[in-house]
Amino acid sequence: MKGLAGAIAALLWLHACQPDETVTGYGGAGDWHLDRIGDTPVSAEFVLHLDTGGGVRVDGPCTRFDARQTAPYPWFRLDDPVQTPRGCSPDATEARALAILSTATLVEVAGDALILSGESEPEIGFVRRD
């Protein structure tokens, strides 16, 4: 029994030492502000937060969105999404951004820019702001 406990502890330690293979391990951790949908600039207050533990949170004017992202970079997939309304109806920009985010399959981080894309939706672009 003692040997089994030691083996489990060693496996847990090895797992904890594994590098983050998601977008956050490649410079994507932090807050990203919606900048464009396709080629159209937007100015909506829509913030995508990616944390190093795989948590994803979106704060839009009328919706909060929480999920998990565990796909290895450059892939992107949201698991267990939960949308929480904030007492108002999302405008067209917020609704469109949430729809694209929900179906995105690829992510790219280049400096202060993050781009999400999928097969049938336009790209959605975010910028990092201080």
Please, are residues 89 and 95 in contact by the beta-carbon 8 Å criterion?
A: no
- pLDDT for 68-77, tens place per residue? 998 999 999 9
115 bridge partner residues: 108, 125
Regions of the chain where pLDDT drops below 70: 1-19, 130
Please, are residues 94 and 46 in contact by the beta-carbon 8 Å criterion?
A: yes
This prediction has a pTM of 0.82
- pLDDT for 18-29, tens place per residue? 568 899 999 999
Please, are residues 52 and 101 in contact by the beta-carbon 8 Å criterion?
A: no
| Burial annotation 78-107 (CB, 10 A radius, 16+ → b, else e) | beeeeeeeeeeebeebbebbbebbebbebb
* Residue 129 to residues 32, 35, 49, Cα–Cα distance (Å): 7, 11, 12
Domains in the chain, start-ordered, CATH in brackets?
22-127 (2.40.128.270)
Q: Select from 26, 22, 24, 34 the least CA-distant residue to 129.
A: 34
